[in-house]
Structure 1
Amino acid sequence: MRTEILLGDEAAALGALHAGIGGSFAYPGTPATELQEYMFLMKRNYPGVYIEWSANEKAAYEAALGMSYIWKRAIVSMKHVGLNVAADAFINSAVTGVNAGMVIMVADDPGMHSSQNEQDSRFYAEFARVPCFEPSNQQEAYDMTLEAFRFSEEVKLPVMIRLVTRLAHSRAIITTETPVKHTPLKKGHDWKKWTLLPANARFRFQKLTELQPELAAYSNKSAFQKLSIPENGASTGVIASGIGYNYLMENSDLASLPILKIGVYPLPGNLLKSLTRNLAEVMIIENGYPFVESRLQSIVQNPSLKVRGRLTGDLPATGELTPDLVRKAFGKKTKQPAFTVPENLVVNRPPRLCDGCAHKEVYNILDEIREEFPEMTVFSDIGCYTLGALRTPPSIESCVCMGASVGMAKGAANGGLTYSVAVIGDSTFLHSGIPTLLKAAGDNSPFTIIILDNGTVGMTGGQDVPIPGERIEKFVAALGVPEEHVKVLIPIRIHHEKNVQIMREELKYRGLSVIIARRECIQLVKTKLKKQKKS
């Protein structure tokens, strides 16, 4: 046993390594990225572990499932909206089950620090009917990952671990266990289990349904649940899940209430009934959607019990919780800070594109072209370039989800928009832009796609893209885009007039065109120069 100071993401990663995984698969996305970054950092100590940045979350999930199929433990990690992409494989893997242990670590983002929504992944676990662990601290992130692999093999199901931003991105001291060795390759499979023809799928789904009481029994007995009912006659109790338990315990005068800490799902029905049996009201503290709150009465069936939480307005309906918000929910005054920060001490600095960023020049081109084509609409995507929305005036007019720029631009063009433009990064294009481009090439839809090829996944820290940039134009042409309308330009000021002319010509073309704006990410260039100076 030894101690480490780790982020929540890193604690889960180390737990997976110590569980003896054969592989770790991921697509970068805040607040989950650091798990896989830590895997790469530790690879020298675990040479037998295969580690990969996958093309997207679905590809990552399926690769992890394939490793489980050959009896090697695997972990897959992603942010909450990434689970939408992986949902097809995730839901069906609950029906097939797993061979070796398989864990999916999903990092949710209450408060939307770096996301389009704050969806709660516990609903996905319930929907798939698989177990879910929700740590309240970094030590539990490590311990639960070890236990998740063990339990996954016991029940032959994938197991979810749900982190949230505040836990994923904060550090604490953890105590580690002795690592176990890699699971040996084992042969022999039940082909019917893994082949979801309707007859097989019906049988497997029935098995999954029959397994639910066992999962509930495990939840009720798990050491990660903690029920405390002091003999003080209190009529108000608390149910706190995950990091919400920390926010409760920060208020020491509330710690004497009857409390159930939840760390494992499905919900522990017996413990919920034990807590609420003699209570008049219960406060639900959960950092996310009102998952427990919306399901409590159906479990305890106590009409006289008053349930309070996000749904009742005692806690905010959206955003992250804090110790002060929890305190206010109980009608208590918040503690005054030791000092007051003067107003306007720090000038507000909204995020912006880096100095020297190639995306800036692309937007300069589009802004100039817009004067000539005022009806032009620019649909954008997920990446650094979304910051084009903060330019004055905005250079882009949408950002919905990965790959949506291509789909929306195509739909708008098919609906009659004359100058429809999609702006998408190289990694995002390879992640989710290809299927729509394939159809657009087939019917030669009249719009322009601009692929911002900076050679990296810039927004999340500079991870590798699946294929080198110079192969993108060959790939695009192979999908059926006319080669004369696949253009590569270098977005730099000295080429501005030439690039404007290319853009102008492709906008006027009444068919599909693809412009690849290629220049290396400025942060990547800086990193390379620093390494060169050191060497």
Structure 2
Amino acid sequence: MERMFLLGDEAVAQGALDSGISGAYAYPGTPSTEILEYVQRIAPASIHSRWSTNEKTALEAALGMSYAGKRALVSMKHVGLNVAADPFINAAISGANGGLLVAVADDPSMHSSQNEQDSRFYADFAGVPCLEPSDPQEAYDMAGYGFELSERYRIPVLVRLVTRLAHSRAPVERKKAREENGLRLPEDSRRFVLLPANARRNYSRLVELQDAFTAASEESRFNRLFPGADRTLGIIAAGLGYAYVRELYPDELPHPLLKLSQYPLPREAVKKLMESCDEVVVIEDGYPFIESRLRGLFGDPRVHGRLDGRLPRIGELTPEAVAAALGIEIKPAFAPGDLVAPRPPALCPGCPHADTFRALKEALGDRGRVFSDIGCYTLAALPPYEAVDTCIEMGASIGMAKGAADAGLHPAVAVIGDSTFTHSGITGLLDCVQEGTPVTVVILDNLTVAMTGGQPSQATDQLESICRGLGVDPDHIRVITPIGPRHEENVQVLREEIDHPGVSVVIARRECVQTAARRARRRAK
């Protein structure tokens, strides 16, 4: 079959396409964005592949396609699974019909995120199988296997990637592509109606399936116990950790090694390793998910990993950290020169957000606080702007500004991007309207989802009508063009709306300089 050179993200996407998906859904977020981008670039038009308004609606749409009997892929970053948690947990209760694969890319070390949460806990919490590839080939293979597992047990299956795997390339051998499923409605549609009586019955079924999920892990080709002569130490390596261990031991393994890439944990395989070795070190990227279970409540002193300092407690797994945990000395391939200096991220030259924040700072002076959100504009917290005071999660800016205003802080200004506003800011603005809260919401409309590469924004050409529909007084929905020559005019508009004793919205609209440049280059061709 064909050999391809794919990112881990792309391998999941190609594996899903070759497994006969009929739809792919996502909201962009590093390090998962490339999954749907690849589907959109490669898939025929007959396969539905559009960006969703947020991760919750993406998962719900995928569940709807599964209900119709077809296979669906939904992808998101780890914090996006928080947004999609309600349908994710309840889809485990209702079950799937057509195969449903939930691909989640975690971000240990927080390269592009505000936390490094581990999605394996979500799979465990929901009671669904979880697959964790160790390389792009496994990412490809697990897509097909995950759909088989999903349809065998009529359950969603989570595939967990991490940043280094999502963004690493390797050769991938494709298999013969499978045809799409036909339309096939559930034989028992009541299981998708989660009234308490049905939900209790479904939950009992889910609990009964746990032993079958564990048995599947015991038999899985992705979990494997390798022998080793030196039993003073056993190694448990999960996902990408296995690849790092094999880099250190490319030939013969000196110690017994249990490779783990499918959950729930295969109890018998783990027990066999634990009973045959004096000590065990757990190599896993992210939280100490496996290690904490092996150590137990009182801490088994034979088990080592992130909890006892054998590996760093925080940050992503690295080959150097794994080598140190195994007592292997490796020399760095190269050291950075003295001329290499840190380059913190910054707003692009000509970015419209920069002009907005200059005007906002002047309009506010020393008054109030600015509650920001997730997006490129969060960089305004750094010099030379230092113009925002908070950034917590998607959509938090408006709710926090409202709460601060309720506490008596004035002015309370929320700054939120166009795509983030439609993602999870609308409900916060509705709360403000319902109470007449004195909050000014500045929507930074650069006509794209810029931070993740310029995907289309669901907010484009919709913001004024959305705000009017929520009940914002049309006289206090103002539009400015953030550009130097209009600075004084923009400062005046912002001052007027900040001083308004009610809800006001200022839409700062100018296209992202990066998407504008790309569009100009395409025209030039």
Cross-structure match for 1:235: 232
1:323 aligns with 319
- Are 2:252 and 1:251 equivalent residues in the alignment? no
Counterpart Cα distance in 1 of 2:331 and 2:22: 51
Would the alpha carbon gap of residues 274 and 482 (structure 1) be closer, same or farther in structure 2, given more than 3 Å must change? same
After TM superposition, give the deviation of residue 337 of structure 1 in Å. 3.4
- For normalisation by structure 2, the TM-score amounts to 0.98
Letter in 2 for 1:354: C
Asked whether the 8 Å contact 2:230–2:256 carries over to 1, the reply is no
Please show how residues 374-413 of structure 1 align to structure 2 within 5 Å.
374-392=366-384, 394-413=386-405
1:225 Cα shift? 0.5
Native 8 Å contact 2:120 2:130 kept in 1? yes
Cα offset for 1:15? 0.4
Give the SS at the match of 1:422.
Answer: strand
For 1:22, what is the secondary structure of its paired residue?
strand
Task: Map 1:442-461 to 2 at 5 A.
Answer: 442-461=434-453
Corresponding residue for 1:336? 331
Deviation track 1:144-163 (CA, whole Å, cap 9, x = no partner) reads: 01100011000000000000
Is residue 431 of structure 2 the alignment partner of residue 439 of structure 1?
A: yes
Match of 2:21, SS state, is: coil
Offset of residue 335 of structure 1: 2.2
Distance 2:459 2:408 in 1: 34
Per the TM alignment, residue 340 of structure 1 is displaced from its structure 2 partner at its CA by 4.0
Cα gap change, 1:315 to 1:97, in 2 (>3 Å): same
Separation in structure 2 between the aligned mates of residue 35 and residue 250 of structure 1, nearest angstrom: 27
For 1:222, give the aligned amino acid.
S
Distance 2:436 2:90 in 1: 35
Give the gaps of 5 or more residues in structure 2: none
Amino acid of the structure 1 residue aligned with 2:327:
G
Alignment partners' CA distance in 2, 1:338 and 1:423: 44
| Residues 1:355 and 2:352 are matched in the alignment | no
- In the alignment, structure 1 residue 512 sits paired with structure 2 residue 503: yes
Number of residues of Structure 1 aligned to a counterpart in Structure 2: 524
Counterpart residue identity of residue 459, structure 1: M
Written as runs of structure 1 = structure 2, the 5 A alignment for 1:101-250 is 101-230=99-228, 232-250=229-247
Classify 1:303/1:511 alpha carbon distance in 2 versus 1 (closer, same or farther; 3 Å): closer
Matches of 1:267 and 1:145, distance apart in 2: 19
Contact 1:489-1:515 within 8 A present in 2 as well: yes
Task: Report the CA distance between 1:249 and its aligned residue.
Answer: 1.5
Amino acid corresponding to residue 337 of structure 1 in structure 2: P
Q: Which residue of 1 aligns with 2:5?
A: 5
2-structure distance, mates of 1:500, 1:303: 59
Counterpart Cα distance in 1 of 2:185 and 2:351? 51
Deviation at 1:56, TM superposition (A): 0.2
- Of 291, 294, 310 in structure 2, the residue corresponding to residue 314 of structure 1 is 310
Instruction: Report what 1:346 is aligned to.
Output: 340
CA-to-partner distance for each residue in 1:234-275, whole Å, 9 max, x for gaps?
Answer: 221000000011111121288321000000000000100111
1:338 CA drift (Å): 5.2
> Which residue does the alignment assign to 1:500?
491
Query: Which residue identity is paired with 2:78?
Result: H
Q: Separation in 2 of the partners of 1:408 and 1:467?
A: 22
Kept in 2: contact 1:279–1:305 (CA 8 A): no
- CA distance, structure 2, for counterparts of residue 462 and residue 66 of structure 1: 27
Secondary structure in 2 matching 1:459: coil
Q: Aligned-pair RMSD on alpha carbons? A: 1.5
Q: Give per-residue Cα distances to partners, 1:100-148, cap 9 Å, x unaligned.
A: 0000000000110000000000000000000000000000000001100
Q: 2:513 aligns with which of 499, 522, 527?
A: 522
TM, length-normalised to structure 1: 0.96
2:285 alignment counterpart: 287
Query: For each residue in 1:149-198, what CA deviation from the matched residue of structure 2 results, as whole angstroms up to 9, or x when unmatched?
Result: 01100000000000000000010000000100111112454232000000
Tell me the secondary structure at the aligned position of residue 280 of structure 2: strand
Q: What SS does structure 2 have at the residue aligned with 1:277?
A: helix
Q: 1:91 aligns with which of 80, 89, 92?
A: 89
SS at 2:225 equivalent: strand
Task: Give the aligned residue type for 2:308.
Answer: T
Cα distance, 1:94 vs structure 2: 0.3
8 Å CA contact 1:280–1:304 kept in 2: the answer is no
Deviation at 1:370, TM superposition (A): 3.0
Deviates more, 1:281-290 or 1:243-252: 243-252
Deviation track 1:472-493 (CA, whole Å, cap 9, x = no partner) reads 1111011111111110111111
> Equivalent residue of 1:267, what SS?
coil
Amino acid at match of 2:85: A
Residues in 1 aligned to 2:264 and 2:14: alpha-carbon distance in whole angstroms: 25
Matched letter for residue 237 of structure 2: A
CA contact (8 A) 1:219 1:266 kept: yes
> What is the letter of the counterpart of residue 330 of structure 2?
K
How many Å separate the matches in 1 of 2:459 and 2:417?
13
Helix, strand or coil for the counterpart of 2:370? strand
Residue by residue, what CA displacement relative to the aligned partner does 1:387-421 show, whole Å, maximum 9, x if unpaired?
A: 10112351111110000001100100011001000
**Residue aligned with 1:146, SS:** helix
- Cα deviation digits, residues 18-54 of structure 1 (max 9, x gap): 00001000000000000011011113xx232100100
Equivalent residue number for residue 471 of structure 2? 480
Offset of 1:302 from its aligned partner? 12
